[in-house]
Structure 1
Amino acid sequence: MVVISIIIIAGSLGYSSVNAISNHGLEFSWPGKSFNFLSVMTDKTVKVCNPSDLPASFSKYSFTIFYDGKELGTYSTGHGGLSPHSSGVVFGKFDSKDDRIANLFFAFFDTENGGTDVTRINTDKIKVKTTLESTILWVVPHVVTHEYDGAEFVNMINKASNCEK
């Protein structure tokens, strides 16, 4: 009986550890490689790729957009699970304290980045923080965060994932 308990505990710990490792390799991309800041207000899905040899699952993926240190809003998805070398889609939603301000800033960001208009927005002040949340042993929180400048994030989210190559 003790041996069976040890095997179950070791297996659970091993599976959770494998998930924590494989989560670091997950790749998120915008459908159609058409991300722009204004699209977070209306688009509802994000593609996820698991290029590793291990399964991966997460409870939430989100990215928060900042301008000059002030939060404009957060796009958050629900949970997802992926087999090795597979991809999928998760649904998400953008939340902001003031959608009008976020909408205005995003329109300025996109025209400045696209080179179609010169605005008084300093695109160097755009920062994006991504957060991937999961658990170890279904109880202990495990969070992976990355910070990007605005242009770097747009390039990352629009590039082809390893599942598409």
Structure 2
Amino acid sequence: MAKEIECKYLLSHLPDDLVITRTQEIDQTYLASTDHESLRVRRLLSNGEESFTMTHKAGKGISRDETEFQIGRELYEQLTERLHVIPLRKTRHKVQLDGRSYDLDIYHNTVQHGLITIEIEFDSEADYHAYQAPSWFGEDVTEQGTYVNSQLWQDIQEQAKQG
């Protein structure tokens, strides 16, 4: 089990000089989710190639345990079709800034219209605490449950139920 140490910021705009190294379209569905644990499946489309993953995360805040592995299309479809839910849809751009790699997510179907976030992963909590975000980054929402992907997904389901 790997340790994931990351922080997430809200973005209100994108600078013109971003260096995008890869783009993925992601459909993300949660099979189970609590405040401290989640199990999700993803469909990823990158350069015309499709792949599927299942991920278990445990913990809350900046540091969580994470186990992720590849699954086949058949299992992904079997799990998601039975649920009759709407996946969280986002475009993920891998970007390079100041020698660091970031995940910039543009969300397409969240309750918060126009939601854009940027995340960075760290090797240690000490690295996290020493990090200084660029001035154009918005609010640090790492500890805010409202912006956790499993909560964004649950909000989509609630909105769909209300019609």
Give the TM-score taking structure 2 as reference length: 0.30
Higher strand fraction (1 or 2): 2
Asked which structure has the greater CA Rg, the reply is: 1
